[in-house]
Amino acid sequence: MWLYLAVLVGLYYLLRWYRERQVVSHLRDKYVFITGCDSGFGNQLARQLDQRGLRVLAACLTEKGARQLRDQMSDRLETVILDVTKTESIAAATQWVKEHTGDRGLWGLVNNAGIFMPTAPNEWLTKQDFMKILNVNLLGTIEVTLSLLPLVRRARGRVVNVSSVLGRVSFLGGGYCISKYGVEAFSDSLRRELSHFGVKVAIIEPGYFKTSMTRNERFSQGYQEVWDRASPEVKETYGEKMLASFMKSTEILEPSWSGKLSLVTDCMEHALTSCHPRTRYSAGWDAKLLYLPMSYMPSLLVDAVIYWSSPRPAKAL
Ligand SMILES: NC(=O)c1ccc[n+]([C@@H]2O[C@H](COP(=O)([O-])OP(=O)(O)OC[C@H]3O[C@@H](n4cnc5c(N)ncnc54)[C@H](OP(=O)(O)O)[C@@H]3O)[C@@H](O)[C@H]2O)c1
């Protein structure tokens, strides 16, 4: 009985492996637009796809980031400046993409741009803090997608949205987890709607990786800024020791985060080039072994884990 089961499972994985290895044709004629290419996953994906021969349209937030990328890569890679929180910037980038892609349409759209801070316990934050993250990570993703969707539909292409393990388990206060839960929900509805047009939508869920977003100084600075403007009542209730614990925990955890960004960009590349992309990609050991299993556990258990592993407020019961 166990032998049959093992053979069946083995067969399933063999078939899946074979199916997922089929690559779409004419990659060199396919245009892929990526947001947030100044650094991190976006930057690495732009380089990786350029080396693979695809036509990369890399959107950077800064002119400096765009120049660096252009200088280091082939003439085929082109850059544009894009702030995903600004409607006029999205409209200009869309026009630029239209001019480049012409009748072919856009094969791939990768919504990668994102920010992490301000993140802290909810009570330390203001509505503006939540909006700052939601505007980039969620509303930016939505507006860029809506603007470019006609071009993606024309190519029967792919939308790849970068979520996070924190779009499955809400570990932290503030807008980040909310934004990534939102990206998951948006992607799910989009995938179902666009299946009628042959467009495929994939979600990338990385664990923690070392990028400019997760640099320890960025965390410390972000926590400190939020703390400095918190009300006296919040400061008294939570206590400076809790702030110090947050800063210490990121300092301790940072070395354990992976610097192998290709674990994530390989998933993105697969979503763009495989004939049969997955719906969701978990990238990183922490995503696969910790956060993904946690997302299926009962809330009672997850709450207990988070309760016992988080810093405690000064006036906790
Ligand atoms: N690193 C991780 O552990 C991790 C885990 C899960 C998911 N993710 C997700 O992965 C994606 C990429 O992040 P990353 O880790 O590669 O961090 P990153 O190196 O900071 O890359 C994010 C890029 O987005 C840019 N950006 C910020 N605001 C923007 C805006 N308004 N318009 C356009 N671009 C903007 C950033 O520019 P600036 O640097 O100038 O701000 C940066 O170049 C994000 O969606 C993030 O949430 C990251």
Q: Say if ligand 1 is within 6 A of residue 101 CB.
A: no
Q: Does some domain include residue 296?
A: yes
Q: Which of 31, 176, 208, 281 is catalytic?
A: 176
Measuring from atom 40 of ligand 1, which residue has the nearest CA?
61
CATH number of the domain bearing residue 197 = 3.40.50.720
Which residue type, as a one-letter code, is found at position 307?
Y
Instruction: Return the closest-CA partner of residue 59 out of 20, 17, 95, 25.
Output: 95
Other CB atoms within 10 A of residue 179 CB: 26
Active site residue 176: yes
Tokens read off for 125: 């934050």
> How many structural domains comprise the chain?
1
Does 211 fall in a domain? yes
The predicted pLDDT at position 74 comes to 84
CA–centroid distance, 213 to ligand 1, in Å, is: 6
Q: Tell me the longest C-alpha to C-alpha distance in the chain.
A: 65
The answer as to whether 113 is a domain residue is yes
Domain assignment present for residue 5? The answer is: no
**pTM, to two decimals:** 0.96
What whole-number distance in Å separates Cα of residue 138 and Cα of residue 145? 11
Q: CB neighbours of 299 closer than 8 A, spacing ≥ 6?
A: none
Ligand 1 centroid from CA 17, angstroms:
30
* Cα 294 to ligand 1 centroid, rounded to whole Å: 24
- Lookup: tokens for 184: 């998951």
Quick one: which H or E segment has residue 13? helix 2-20
35 lines ligand 1 (CB under 6 A): yes
Whether 280 maps to a domain, the answer reads: yes
In a domain, 227, yes or no: yes
Ligand 1 centre distance from Cα of residue 174 (Å): 17
DSSP string, 109-171: EEE------S-S-GGG--HHHHHHHIIIIIIIHHHHHHHHHHHHHHHT-EEEEE--GGGTS--
**Residue pLDDT tens, the chain, 317 long:** 888 899 999 999 999 999 999 999 999 999 999 999 999 999 999 999 999 999 999 999 999 999 999 999 888 999 999 999 999 999 999 999 999 999 999 999 999 999 999 999 999 999 999 999 999 999 999 999 999 999 999 999 999 999 999 999 999 999 999 999 999 999 999 999 999 999 999 999 999 999 999 988 898 999 999 999 999 999 999 999 999 999 998 889 888 899 999 999 999 999 999 999 999 999 999 999 999 999 999 999 999 999 999 999 999 98
Evaluate: CB of 291 within 6 angstroms of ligand 1.
Answer: no
User: Which structural domain, as residue segments, surrounds residue 220?
Assistant: 26-309
Residue 159 falls within a domain, yes or no?
Answer: yes
DSSP 312: P
Whether cis (ω within 30° of 0) applies to the bond prior to 293 is no
Q: Is 19 within a domain?
A: no
- Side-chain-side CA neighbours of 17 within 13 Å: the count stands at 6
The answer to whether the beta carbons of residues 245 and 311 sit under 8 Å apart is: yes
Q: Which of 41, 119, 180 to mutate to test the pocket of ligand 1 (most atoms within 8 A of CB)?
A: 41
